[in-house]
Amino acid sequence: MSLQISNEQLRTIAREFGTPLYLYNADRITHQYTQLQTAFQHSDKVRFFYACKALTNLSILKHIKQIGCNVDCSSINEARLAVHAGFTPENILYTSNGIAFDEIEEAVALGININIDSLSNLEKFGKKYGHSYPVGIRIRPNIMAGGNLKISTGHENSKFGIPIEQLQDIVQLMQQYNIHIAGLHNHTGSEIKDVDVFMKVSSVFLDMIPHFPELQFLDMGGGFKVPYKDGDEGTDIQLLANEIMAFEKKIAVTYQRNFQIWFEPGKYIVSEAGYLLSKVNVLKPTATTTFAGIDTGFNHLIRPMFYEAYHRIRNISNEKGELKKYAVVGNICETDTFAWDRELNEIREGDVLVFDNAGAYGFEMASNFNSRFRPAEVLVKDGKAILIRKREVFEDLLRNQVEAF
């Protein structure tokens, strides 16, 4: 199993498929999932659902299915993609957020697992389905967590989930409409390194259990941190597994009940498997810095601009070049600086730069801003580079437009 794609292979793939290009390593995806399975091998109650909002390419979804992982969906279209990729309904989880009730109705028609995150939709669900369809509820525990406020979803000002202080309203609706509440769900955010955050959630769940006699699962969400910079540490998955097993024992002792424990890792599974390959269009020396203008921008990778996220950047065309400092910038008519004052091997026009850890929320958040094409996607599997999405062309910009004149 090769966890890294060599620079030589990256250069070859850049020549074959062109740039900008998203590239994914199937071996690394498999490895990440195996790490989770190994850590939790002593618990038969833990299930993992890949949070596919990180990357929904059908070939990636099919690989996720092949390695035995379930899938978590944030929209009904993601659920449709999961079905199209071959996942069976019991292995698909759909967690709503501020959506119209007809999405939930379609999810019921698909027969998939559902979490509801508002009292309004919970009441509508109760009126229509009563006890006939098990459902989970997403709780907002008022816990601040995550690597950036924009990816923190469990704090007291978050739009996500039903506030914990509205517990009695949930119970009242459950009793009024005889709703089969099968699960409790929470997701506090992304880039969570501190295992204690998950255990704070477990304490919230522990106090809620007596209110729900038909519970079957406790969904802890995802958000495991992955290393981006040299020296970064990710979430200690083995420590988390140990804490969760202790939590399971505590439930058994306290209530004489047992539940499945669900997690929704997305970034953890695909981030380190992904690369964004780009070509240097132009060098622009100034009095204060040298700009390296590349053939991509925040239309392809918005995380550095949106979240102030760090991505390691490497010049794979001049690996032994003298180290110099550059501002790596995109070709978009907005400020799209990927890195400022970044030390890289000397950059020349035409060199290929690689962004590491680009598998999660890279292509998935891409756009056609400035009427530029979205890049191709390639998967390296069994040592072979396979095209899994064509590069867009001009006709794609015209598709679905209706010319009125």
Tell me: cis bond preceding 227? Omega within 30 of 0 counts: no
Please check if 307 is assigned to a binding site: yes
State the residue for tokens 């996942």: 87
Q: Is 69 a catalytic residue?
A: no
Using an 8 Å Cβ cutoff, are 24 and 47 in contact?
A: no
Active-site annotation holder among 52, 69, 73, 333: 333
Using an 8 Å Cβ cutoff, are 311 and 275 in contact?
A: no
Please check if 303 is assigned to a binding site: yes
Q: How far apart (Å, rounded) are the C-alpha atoms in residues 387 and 14?
A: 12
Instruction: Give which of 318, 326, 338 is closest to 288, Cα–Cα.
Output: 326
Please check if 275 is assigned to a binding site: no
HEC string for 112-144? CEEEECCHHHHHHHHHHHCCCCCEEEEEECCCC
Please check if 361 is assigned to a binding site: yes
Q: How far apart (Å, rounded) are the C-alpha atoms in residues 160 and 187?
A: 9
Neighbours of 176 (CB within 10 A): 11
Please check if 268 is assigned to a binding site: no
Residue stretches of the annotated binding site for substrate: 303, 307, 334, 361
Active site residues: 333
Residue stretches of the annotated binding site: 223, 303, 307, 334, 361
